[in-house]
Amino acid sequence: MKLHDLRPPDGANKSRKRKGRGIAAGQGKTAGRGTKGQASRAGGTKGPYFEGGQLPLVRRLPRVRGFTNIFKVEYVPVNLSRLQVFEAQAEVSPATLAAAGIIKSPEVPVAILGDGEVDRPLVVKAHRVSASAKAKIEGAGGSVDLLPWEVNRGRRGSVGGGPAGESLRG
């Protein structure tokens, strides 16, 4: 067998229907569209928006109000109950949280929330810490450090916000 002997099996390749090419073609005259009516005309089918002249559903619904704040900072919440995997005096930062599999990426801002208990002293470094979480961490003998964060603000340049809202731009 040579390359020029290779061919697809019989019936594998089917020729397309040539509609509207006469009675002998089997799809002549009306070309399978039926007789008369909107669907028989060229360009006759309307889009999904069209409802036969009735006011479309999209126009009957009230419009969406408000706006999307493009400068919003999305924090990844981490509860104190998730910090039980760390040893005493361990540093809890976005990098160590990502390494432990608690958060997906160390680049995202992290917020520590107060759900759960802490029974060992931890050094917590996060972008935001709730008041109850801070009290529980310091009550267990640990410490809390707030990390600064930067937000890309498009054409205006990169503006820092830190927990207190101070600007990093000069």
Residue 123: its pLDDT value, please? 96
Compute the average pLDDT of residues 53-62: 91
* Dist. CA 151–CA 73, nearest whole Å: 8
| pLDDT digit string, tens, across residues 103-130 | 999 999 999 999 999 999 999 999 999 9
In a domain, 153, yes or no: yes
Instruction: Decide: 133 and 123 in contact? Cβ < 8 Å.
Output: no
Rounded average pLDDT over 8-29: 90
Q: Which residues of 112-147 are buried (b: 16+ CB within 10 A; e: fewer)?
A: bbbeeebeeebbbbbbbbbeebbebbeeeebebeee
Name the residue range of residue 131's domain.
Answer: 76-160
Report d(CA 7, CA 137) in Å as an integer.
74
Establish if 14 belongs to a structural domain: no
**What's residue 46's pLDDT?**
86
Question: For position 122, what pLDDT does the model report?
Answer: 95
Query: Does residue 113 lie in a domain region?
Result: yes
Q: How far apart are the first and last CA of the chain?
A: 77
Please state the pTM of the whole predicted model: 0.54
Q: How many domains does the chain have?
A: 1
Cβ atoms of 119 and 110 closer than 8 Å: no
- For residue 7, being part of any structural domain is answered with no
Strands across the sheet containing 128-129: 76-79, 110-113, 128-129
Split at pLDDT 50, 70, 90, the class of 151 is low
The average pLDDT across 21-44 equals 89
- Residue 54 falls inside a structural domain: no
- Check: CB of residue 85 under 8 Å from CB of residue 116: no
Q: Would residue 27 count as lying in a domain?
A: no
Nearest to 88 by CA among 140, 164, 131: 140
pLDDT attached to residue 154: 55
pLDDT at 76: 95
pLDDT given at position 153: 58
CATH number, position 120 = 3.100.10.10
